[in-house]
Amino acid sequence: MGGDRVLIDRFLEMMAAEAGAARNTVAAYRTDLSLASATLGGTLAEADAAAIGRLADGWATLAKSTVARKASALRRFYAFLAEEGLRADDPGSALPRPGTSRPLPRTLSGGDIEAMFAAIDVRIARVPPDRNDLRLSALFELLYGSGLRATELVSLPRGAIVSDRPYLILKGKGGRERMVPLSDRARAAVVRWRAHVPAASPWLFPSGKSHLSRMRLYQVVRALAGEAGIPPDRISPHVLRHAFATHLLEGGADLRALQAMLGHADIATTEIYTHVDASRLVRLVSELHPLIDAGRTRP
């Protein structure tokens, strides 16, 4: 696999430097390409359509989403080789294109969110307040109030949020910058929490020698759900991000604005939330369409 390894490294360097691929994406591509190379005895780079077909046959028992991911990695790899003049052809057309259906995101009702905020209010009303409760309040306000990804949230710098600035500039997946709205409540919660963060800390949510881990964030969010009477297996930091998006759409937010706030590179990723809001759309048509006239009967 020596030759394959060198070319895979070059391809992934391009993905990271030129295409702006996220670290997790690069890692997934490396795994898929390395496994494919091993299956073909280190001849992935020069494989013909027949060899690729045999490789794809070995994916028969895998989920459609997994096959789609593997095929996408190989297609991009072969396109790179062709563009670099390392192959005279692009055999990517021999790879399968399974139809995949994107599952609807799990979300929470307005009542669920209110119950969790009420549980937080009970906590921070204690005298004196526990610093962990103040941290939880800031974390939850930012997760639900701004739709941050878990990694983005736990790695926020100590001074990232300014009390008189209603937005935050973030660098998310692929190094793309976006502006994230900050509510008055969120900024106030951060101010209360930051008073307990050492001034020398580089992180807003420090833990040991680094920042709070995603796993610990997951644990504290689930514990809060349990206190609020919500089954913990229904919730995670990402579910709160989904709730942020879904509730904004229900309130009439523009899909493009939502795409920008969530940091989605492709509007198709944001459009998944329109399916969650279908019942509201049906109600709007039934109640507000100009042809609906409850007082008029057909002749």
Specify the DSSP element, H or E, that contains 143: helix 131-146
Distance CA 122, CA 135 (A): 14
Q: Which residues are catalytic, by number?
A: 149, 173, 238, 241, 264, 273
DSSP state of 174: G
Instruction: Select from 141, 131, 185 the least CA-distant residue to 163.
Output: 185
Distance CA 101, CA 186 (A): 35
Sign of torsion, CA 156 158 164 169? Answer: negative
* 90 close to 78: Cβ distance less than 8 angstroms: yes
Specify the DSSP element, H or E, that contains 171: strand 167-171
DSSP state of 175: G
* 179 close to 24: Cβ distance less than 8 angstroms: no
Strand partners, 203: 157
